[in-house]
Amino acid sequence: MKKLVGIFKQVIKTIQLSIFLSRCKLCGSLLVLEGEELICSECKAEIMPVDAPVCKLCGRIVENRHRMCGECIVKPPRFKKHLSYAIYDGVLKDLILLFKYGEIKKLKKLLARYYIEIIEKRINERFDFIIPVPADKSRKRDFSPVYEIAKILSRRLSIPLLRGNLTKIRTTEPQAGLSRYKRLKNLNGAFKVKDPTRVKGKKILLIDDVYTTGTTIKKCSELLAKAKADVTALTLSRSM
């Protein structure tokens, strides 16, 4: 009888837990550990920063830390350096997609932490402005994921946010799924620096979420560099 009561209590406890506790947005397991919010510790532990030698310009994984990748040797980008926190895969990819399209806005704090970690560990520099890569205006969403992250970074790192100067002046097809050539063509004339004097001689931290072929970051860096700004780019993740 005692055993039965015990089992009964356990069942009630489990039901209570599943009613009052939240679940991990990725794997669905209950969030029971202290400090767990939105995502469980096990899922979080799967997000690992890039721990391999990278091209000193674009951040691509290379064999020798002191080398540049072939692409940067042939056509050096206009940014001084680009770094990504991790590879665009697995849990991090799911998180980014949840944030961008599932619009779980609360994830911004968690994601911002990864940017801050890489800035503190690998970028030893003071910046005049943070500039988020601008989103398409026509997408009719009042939620701009990269801007949300940039706002947090600006507050936490005490770097002024400069929004609206680097701007998108026409809508473009989503870059995902396009070939490298089409990506380039898609972005031709899409961005503009409205007031070049604001960024002239300034150190800029350019922020985006995903670096695939780097076309967007390179295009924005090119425009900012033309305005005589010094650009360091940072993304949350990059494809191999």
- The footprint of Zn ion (CB under 5 A) covers 24, 26-27, 40, 43, 55, 57-58, 60, 69, 72
- Cα separations (Å) of 25 from 37, 40, 90, 112, 134? 9, 8, 14, 17, 27
- Residue carrying structure tokens 């076309």: 215
DSSP 78: S
> Cα separation of 221 and 215, whole Å?
10
User: For Zn ion, which is the closer residue by CB, 28 or 189?
Assistant: 28
User: For Zn ion, which is the closer residue by CB, 56 or 163?
Assistant: 56
User: For Zn ion, which is the closer residue by CB, 41 or 175?
Assistant: 41
- Residue 186 CB, nearest distance to Zn ion (Å)? 22
User: For Zn ion, which is the closer residue by CB, 24 or 162?
Assistant: 24
- Residue 127 CB, nearest distance to Zn ion (Å)? 21
- Residue 77 CB, nearest distance to Zn ion (Å)? 7
User: For Zn ion, which is the closer residue by CB, 54 or 150?
Assistant: 54
> Cα separation of 148 and 214, whole Å?
21
- Residue 211 CB, nearest distance to Zn ion (Å)? 11
- Residue 90 CB, nearest distance to Zn ion (Å)? 12
175, two tokens: 């870059």
As to burial, measured by CB atoms within 10 angstroms (0-12 exposed, 13-18 middle, 19+ buried), residue 52 is exposed
How many other C-beta atoms lie within 10 A of the C-beta of residue 49? 14
> Cα separation of 154 and 129, whole Å?
8
